[in-house]
Amino acid sequence: MTPTNSAALLTEPKAHPLKVESTPYPTAADGEIIVKVASTAINPMDWYIQILGEQLFSWLQYPYIGGSDVAGTVVEVGPNVSKFKVGDRVSGLTAGFDARSGGFQNYVVLKEKIVVSIPDDLEFTEASVFPLGISTAACGLYQKDFLALDYPSVDPKPNGKTLLIWAGASSVGTNAIQLAVASGYEVYTTSSPKNFEYCKGLGASRVFDYNSPTVTQDIIEAFKGKTSAGAYAIQIGSRKPVFEVISKVEGNKFVACAMEPADVPEGVQAKMVFAGTIKDNEVGSLIFDQYLPAALAQKKFQCLPKPLVFGHGLENIQGAIDLGKSGSVSAKKIVVTL
């Protein structure tokens, strides 16, 4: 008997609140699995889509099901899937913008390439915090047309280069620091002072207060005698200081941006990251097949930011989105259990 499926969906552009309704149970195509969602996380994209609608993505189809991060149990495997079997506990990136692959539903389709098995002692709430964060981080760090860094390993060797990551306590920053350190890079990052120790615990060697009036000059000074591996500008408003730093240091002058680059100085290259591209190139397999399984099993990768469980059930998705939109949550990832 086919299970019944429900979702928290946007019935039309800018609709508020999301409506919980019955939706079709999905079918797994080639290379896909169906996962019964146990935990799903909230991301800025979820409230931006709700607020801006067609101004942000004119091509979205409605009713629209959001949600990029899920953890749960495999209930079905599609043709040519060898990586997973029914009953496996997994975490994955939805990476689609259609009803089949939105995480805010009980049953979701995932592409096996961007899913990882999780250890038995890892809670689903913890496992749902990282897929979009690590995917966005990895796209900027490893894709050949971005920073093209050395690949991560559970036993990295220092390579003598220094990477700047602006907004280290953010979800993307949290994952980017861990990946860069696992790739052998020294990491400089920024945060508010209350998150300095958090960033150092991820492996950053220096943390700067991004609200300091001298932050740009302080980072340029710290880079003296160092070789730049480039930078990742994550926080809104960080392009200008990051471009200034990178224009004045020795080494790679490429900046991966979590937003559209603007006013890029001469001699600096910059490009916007889109996490979904990870499913279309070698970086998806690099992260979800080669790095994460061993790193999770050996506790070399921390599932952070820590989950802040907002509630249980699809009816709590809207409240969780509203909490994220309020900007009152720092160094935590809002999740809802299903």
Q: How many CB atoms lie within 10 A of CB 62?
A: 14
pLDDT tens per residue across span 80-90: 999 999 999 99
* Joined tokens for residue 230: 């480039």
pLDDT score at 80: 96
pLDDT tens, residue by residue, 67-77: 999 999 999 99
Mean pLDDT of 170-195: 97
Interhelix angle 317-325/44-52, rounded to 10 degrees, is: 90
Does 97 have pLDDT greater than 80?
A: no
Averaged pLDDT of the chain: 95
Mean pLDDT of 25-30: 95
Question: Quick one: pLDDT at residue 36?
Answer: 98
Model's pTM, two decimal places? 0.96
How many helices and strands in the chain, by DSSP H and E?
Answer: 10, 15
* pLDDT of amino acid 331: 81
**Which residues contact residue 252 at a Cβ distance below 8 angstroms, ignoring those fewer than 6 apart?**
147, 161, 228, 229, 230
pLDDT recorded at residue 284:
94
Q: Catalogue all structural domains in the chain, each as residue range(s) with its CATH number.
A: 5-130+303-337 (3.90.180.10), 136-276 (3.40.50.720)
pLDDT tens digit string along 99-150?
888 999 999 999 999 999 999 999 999 999 999 999 999 999 999 999 999 9
Which residues are bridge partners to 89 per DSSP?
Answer: 73
Q: Which of 223, 269, 274 is nearest to 249 (CA)?
A: 223
Mean pLDDT, residues 269-294: 94
